Structure 1
Amino acid sequence: MKKFLLYIFIAICFLPTDARAQFETFKDSVVQLYGVVMTADSLQGLPAVTVLVKGQNRGTVTNNQGVFSIVVLKGDEIDFSSIGYKPKSVVVPREIEGNEYSVIQLMVTDTVYLAATVIKSRPRREQFERDFLNTQVPADNLEIARQNNDEAKRKILMSYLPRDGQEAQRAYFNKQANKTYYAGQNAPMNILNPFAWNEFIKAWKRGDFKSKK
């Protein structure tokens, strides 16, 4: 740090007066911050503590003994954080003399409250089999898709759900095609069609013609 300031001092000898004054002000505001981070209960050095200058993308971490060192400016706010400890902040005083400042930061353990755990006795084999067989497992997406593709369910949905635009267009085109196919002649009547009677009997047994209220 002292060698660095010496080199800067030699370089400013060739700078204009205004630049020299600005450098003197900047040099006076630079501080070498160093110290040690310890646990508040046992005063043991705390390693791997993050030391960050607030509002800037600069920082460091403590070594195995909890010691750290970083260059900051007077008035900077320094944040200390570590997993399992409450975060702490320190402000570098603006009125300190010289360019070095040391701190001893104590970190307090952060208490974590976990949800209550209920310990129960191990169930008997009969109890386990009963609960396992009676467990209602929710259907996954594949099972829901199978249920929706069931023939009976599809028929119920077709009878209640309105047709979309594509289905209505297809039905209209089919009707127009049949009308054009039998143009100039009488269309066949399904009253003598055995396949039509078979479908009619099946629909009658299913109750498709019952009144729906």
Structure 2
Amino acid sequence: MKRILPALIVLIFAICQKAQAQFEQIKDSVVQLYGVVMTADSLQGIPAVSITVKGQGRGTITNEQGVFSIVVLKGDKIEFTSVGYKPKLVEIPRNIEGNQYSIIQLMVVDTQYLPATIIKPRPTREQFERDFLNTQIPDDDIEIARKNTDEQTRRALMAILPADGREAANYSLGQQAYKYSYRGQIPPMNIMNPAAWGEFIRAWKRGDFKSKK
């Protein structure tokens, strides 16, 4: 026990010295940063400028005269941001003597160019009625479907578009079925069929037999 006690006292003393040295080091790295933020062109104090320590999520803002004060560490990066001005990033030097550091930060106006706006006078009643009546309203789905299923449109498309594989196969199979149905006998003639004559007359009126040149 007599041997352990001196060693324990030495260990506690060493730990205290190390903690004291770390405390002195931390104390020496703490800096009271203060200063003023001003415009670069007119040297006017900028109020409500956001001053944050980058990466630490803490900061402050300037007062009505642009003055601020914040506690930082040596080597910290301080970011100055304000609406209408370009952001600035300042690094606190590590070789500062003492625990106070002052700065005068100038900020440049961030010019934003908006697209040109052309103001026109209100139209007269006659102009409004003319433009309203001449406005082309796009077709909705029902109107597009109605135009696509129109009889004349379908017949025009059928006349100019070639048959696809299914239509060609159905036509060929229909011809073969008709041929096999009347094999060995004379096929009936529709010259006396009233339905065939009615279809012929409707086709003639539609102009199906006209030259397509």
The TM-score range, normalised by the shorter chain, is 0.5 to 0.7
For residue 114 of structure 2, what is the aligned residue in structure 1?
114
Point out where structure 2 has 5 or more consecutive residues left out of the alignment: 1-14
Point out where structure 1 has 5 or more consecutive residues left out of the alignment: 1-9, 15-19
Amino acid at match of 1:110: D
The runs of at least 4 aligned residues of structure 1 exceeding 2 Å deviation read 10-14, 30-39, 49-53, 58-74, 76-124, 134-164, 168-171, 173-213
Structure number with greater Rg is 2
Calculate the aligned-residue CA RMSD, in Å: 4.5
Equivalent residue in structure 1 for 2:176, among 179, 197, 201: 179
Partner of 2:180, secondary structure, is coil
**Cα distance in 1, alignment partners of residues 148 and 32 from structure 2:** 69
Per the normalisation by structure 2, the TM-score is: 0.57
Per the normalisation by structure 1, the TM-score is: 0.57
Contact 1:46 1:62 in 2 (8 A): no
User: CA 1:121 to 1:94, structure 2 compared with 1: closer, same or farther past 3 Å?
Assistant: same
**Cα distance in 2, alignment partners of residues 38 and 134 from structure 1:** 59
Contact 1:50 1:59 in 2 (8 A): no
Contact 1:52 1:78 in 2 (8 A): yes
For residue 8 of structure 2, what is the aligned residue in structure 1?
none
Amino acid at match of 1:154: R
**Cα distance in 1, alignment partners of residues 61 and 145 from structure 2:** 58
Residue 125 of structure 1 and its aligned partner are, at CA, apart by 1.8
For residue 194 of structure 2, what is the aligned residue in structure 1?
194
**Cα distance in 2, alignment partners of residues 139 and 69 from structure 1:** 65
For residue 205 of structure 1, what is the aligned residue in structure 2?
205
**Cα distance in 2, alignment partners of residues 141 and 203 from structure 1:** 31
**Cα distance in 1, alignment partners of residues 129 and 99 from structure 2:** 75
